[in-house]
Structure 1
Amino acid sequence: MEQQPLFIVSREDWSLHRKGYNDQARHQQRVREAIKNNLPDLVSDESIILSDGRRTVKVPIKSLDEAHFIYNYNKKQHVGQGDGDSQVGDVLGVDPQLSKKPGKGQDAGDQPGEDVFDTEISIDELEDMLFDEMELPNLEQKQKDQMQTTEIVFHDIRKKGIMSNIDKKRTLLENLRRNANEGKAGIGGISPDDLRYKTWTEIVKPQSNAVIFAILDVSGSMGAFEKFCSRSYFFWMSRFLRRKYEHVEIVYIAHHTEAKEVTEEEFFTRGESGGTICSSAYQRVLDIIEQRYPPALWNIYPFHFSDGDNLTSDNERCVRLIEKLMEVSNMFGYGEINQYNRNSTLMSAYKHISNKKFKFSIIKDKGEVYKALTHFFAKQPTT
């Protein structure tokens, strides 16, 4: 009995069968674009910040119309002419009737609007988009490595394996080579001897330890808007660090005139009042570093968020302590919630700091929380 081939290579033109796939790919691309365009608003969405991280998010997306010819109801002739270097999609002529726009704003229009629908994405999908271009800056190798990432690398081709790992290109080449040796032209009659499979190795890459100090001003001058923006930033920062780095540690510090280390739950829910002495927080961080996180073994990143109001006589001490922190840290980040663009006592002192390790971001509205995240955790260009 003649053995039937395991594979049959079809020469049918499948381009006509890919319409559904192309539409799906186009829709997914539009979804990704909509998510990127809405990231500043999504990052500051209160329902996400206050959730347990397992909900879905709705993103508005314009509907996708199929390409089709539109009948000219005005029965007028139109002529368009290119310059000789026209490309697909270039506009050669414009119908004056199409210059009318749909209603927008306070004025009423006479043209139909664009269909917009909401698509749902999970928090994980949102994080993939948000964290893709973020990393811990200036991360250095330390003596004690605990942070590890696993990378799968396909490095070899074998004759035995499972069908899910089959290398189609190598299999077809082997079949083509065998047929050529037998005096046959082309591809066909693929046999088990032609099959080739990819194999891989899991490479574990050690990464240096890192500790992040989340420092939050909880004094009486921090209103609801200031606390929400600060906690929104630290919410996404915590999720970013735990998603991309396995053994990173986060130390939460809350301060008014005094600073204390608190739990994560207290950090995000507890309210305080009183005056503001920011140097107490910086000194507390230095004490914790000395006790638990020697700089020779740890990458250190303090991030302080405040409304900028501080006891004026304390500013000089704050600058001195920040200088000490930058001596043992990879970076110091300061975020100021300044909704009304006022002159703050802290920025009046910090603007003179010229050390490259010092970074700051001014947040004037909720949408700028995203800007602060991408500023502090921007990926460094590879050299």
Structure 2
Amino acid sequence: MDNRMFMIARDDWSLHRKGEIDQERHKRKVKEAIRHNLADLVSEESIIMPQGDKVIKVPIRSLDEPKFRYNYQNEPQVGQGKGGTQVGDVIGQSGQGDAEGPGKGGHEAGDQPGEDYYEAELTIDELAELVFEDLQLPRLKPKAAPDMMIDDIRFDDVRRQGMMSNVDKRRTLFEAIKRQSLGGGITAMPHAAAAQSHWASPGEPATGAAGSATGPVTITGDDLRYKTWEDIRRPQSSAVVLAMMDTSGSMGAFEKYVARSFFFWMTRFLRTKYDNVQIRFLSHSTEAKEVDEDSFFTKGESGGTRCSSVYELALRILEADYPPGQHNAYVFHFSDGDNLDSDNPVTVRLANELLERVNMLGYGEIRQHVYGGKQLWEAMSSLTSPAFSRSILKEKEDVFKTLQAFFGEELAS
């Protein structure tokens, strides 16, 4: 009798994926931290400035390996806290009073250890992808004669005529085998052997795989098959965006920085997500003028403010270059709200004229230390068109809020 004993065991292969699981968990934590800090990151000076860094550093809480945490102080502990905990959350807390604890900025020094943080790096493109994921041009409509854009080519057909560079070798060989098999000149070739056959020019024998029982395969001109392609086209509605900024003397460093931050992300958003969008830059003090992109983001002016001048220029540009039936038009104006009292009614009248021909008019007013409403803001409140949207920016973090207000999904319809 055979008394040999055997042991059957099975590996827990889930343990081999621990590194992969930890890596995915790390990526989720990084994205969560970035989304939580989007408002701060969007207004980061190193990103907005023309010569700014191309890599952004985001503080991320370190993820510790699971381990037992001992209660050295013998303090009473109950369960896992108040609920709502997630993987990686610190459950055990010191029972000391408020007099002791980890040190924090702006407070007295503490005597307890804190949490470890490290800085994760991401590029501007990676940050932009998160910023733009829920943004789109509102009320974008197909026009009478949309431009046709070629996105790609796709090989999706086989024909008897074409260029030799586009010969489909597998199908050509199959046609040659099929023809000779029907004529009795060759035995059937297995699929695997056909895949390993040696390719030859038309008229020369193409031998089968080594050791196969197939005879030589002769390819004729009638056997040749060519791949053909088609252009993948999609209609792309034409759109123009007018970026208008107050550059008068009342616009201080903070106001200009916030306005430029918004327009920086707006232009990047439009060029990332839309292929057929034109952006034109207008600046104004008492007089409005069209400027190039570099001047728009770097140069300022002095003097008074007459906002109606830029609305009048916008109307002239749209009437001359962008017929309503062929283009979607968007206008965004940023100012500190300081405008000539006598000019406010004129500005509102011109804004109403713009609203009759544009998909959207957005007005952003920058107030750093002003808590009451300015007269231009109050005058703009008379605009009741659904195509009009406005936002107040009191701090840098409001740039992201305004992007969502002007390009959010709720305005898409």
Of residues 337, 345, 348, the one that matches 1:308 is 337
Corresponding position of 1:28: 27
Corresponding position of 1:97: 95
AA in 2 matched with 1:220: G
Residues 222-274 of structure 1 deviation map (CA, whole Å, 9 limit, x = unaligned): 11111111011111100100010011000111111111111111111111111
Q: Distance in 2 between matches of 1:152 and 1:61?
A: 42
Q: Distance in 2 between matches of 1:102 and 1:38?
A: 23
AA in 2 matched with 1:144: A
Residues 117-170 of structure 1 deviation map (CA, whole Å, 9 limit, x = unaligned): 1111111101011011110001001112237585999x9xxxxx9xxxxxxxxx
Q: Distance in 2 between matches of 1:376 and 1:48?
A: 21
Q: Distance in 2 between matches of 1:231 and 1:86?
A: 40
CA positional deviation for 1:94: 6.9
Runs of at least 5 residues in structure 2 that lack an aligned partner in the other structure: 1-9, 157-167, 169-190, 194-229
Matched, 1:366 2:396: yes
Alpha-carbon distance change, 206 to 107 in structure 1, aligned in 2, over 3 angstroms: same
Matched residue SS, 1:108: coil
Q: Distance in 2 between matches of 1:327 and 1:226?
A: 29
Alpha-carbon distance change, 126 to 96 in structure 1, aligned in 2, over 3 angstroms: closer
Would you say the 8 A contact 2:136–2:412 is kept in 1? no
Would you say the 8 A contact 2:239–2:329 is kept in 1? yes
Q: Distance in 2 between matches of 1:123 and 1:267?
A: 21
Q: Distance in 1 between matches of 2:84 and 2:43?
A: 43
Q: Distance in 2 between matches of 1:382 and 1:285?
A: 23
Q: Distance in 2 between matches of 1:192 and 1:380?
A: 56
Corresponding position of 1:376: 406
Q: Distance in 1 between matches of 2:257 and 2:86?
A: 48
Would you say the 8 A contact 1:147–1:246 is kept in 2? no
Q: How does 1:232-243 map to 2 (within 5 A)?
A: 232-243=261-272
Of residues 252, 267, 278, the one that matches 1:223 is 252
Q: Distance in 2 between matches of 1:149 and 1:46?
A: 37
Corresponding position of 1:142: 143
CA positional deviation for 1:110: 2.5
User: After TM superposition, which residue ranges in structure 1, 4 or more long, deviate above 6 angstroms?
Assistant: 85-89, 93-96
Would you say the 8 A contact 2:312–2:350 is kept in 1? yes
CA positional deviation for 1:86: 11
Of residues 357, 377, 382, the one that matches 2:387 is 357
Residues 268-288 of structure 1 deviation map (CA, whole Å, 9 limit, x = unaligned): 111111111111111111111
AA in 2 matched with 1:374: Q
Q: Distance in 1 between matches of 2:333 and 2:80?
A: 59
AA in 2 matched with 1:287: R
What percent identity do the matched residue pairs reach?
Answer: 50
Alpha-carbon distance change, 327 to 308 in structure 1, aligned in 2, over 3 angstroms: same
Alpha-carbon distance change, 362 to 79 in structure 1, aligned in 2, over 3 angstroms: closer
Q: Distance in 2 between matches of 1:86 and 1:313?
A: 57
Would you say the 8 A contact 1:147–1:247 is kept in 2? no
Corresponding position of 1:290: 319
Runs of at least 5 residues in structure 1 that lack an aligned partner in the other structure: 1-10, 156-160, 162-190, 194-200
Matched residue SS, 2:364: strand
Corresponding position of 1:180: none
Q: Distance in 2 between matches of 1:87 and 1:57?
A: 29
Alpha-carbon distance change, 73 to 266 in structure 1, aligned in 2, over 3 angstroms: same
Matched, 1:274 2:303: yes
Q: Distance in 1 between matches of 2:283 and 2:272?
A: 24
Between structure 1 and structure 2, the one with the greater Rg is 2
Q: Distance in 2 between matches of 1:18 and 1:99?
A: 42
Alpha-carbon distance change, 126 to 293 in structure 1, aligned in 2, over 3 angstroms: same
Matched residue SS, 1:97: coil
Corresponding position of 2:121: 120
Alpha-carbon distance change, 128 to 203 in structure 1, aligned in 2, over 3 angstroms: same
Alpha-carbon distance change, 127 to 87 in structure 1, aligned in 2, over 3 angstroms: closer
Would you say the 8 A contact 2:247–2:284 is kept in 1? yes
Corresponding position of 2:179: none
AA in 1 matched with 2:240: V
AA in 1 matched with 2:95: Q
Would you say the 8 A contact 1:53–1:123 is kept in 2? no
Corresponding position of 1:196: none
CA positional deviation for 1:12: 6.2
Residues 287-346 of structure 1 deviation map (CA, whole Å, 9 limit, x = unaligned): 111100011111100000000011110111111111110110111000011111243121
Corresponding position of 1:64: 63
Of residues 312-321 and 95-104 in structure 1, the stretch that sits farther from structure 2 once superposed is 95-104
Q: Distance in 2 between matches of 1:33 and 1:296?
A: 43
AA in 1 matched with 2:103: G
Q: TM-score, normalised by structure 1?
A: 0.77
Corresponding position of 2:238: 209
Q: TM-score, normalised by structure 2?
A: 0.72
Corresponding position of 2:36: 37
Q: Distance in 1 between matches of 2:353 and 2:143?
A: 20
Of residues 364-373 and 71-80 in structure 1, the stretch that sits farther from structure 2 once superposed is 71-80
Alpha-carbon distance change, 357 to 66 in structure 1, aligned in 2, over 3 angstroms: same
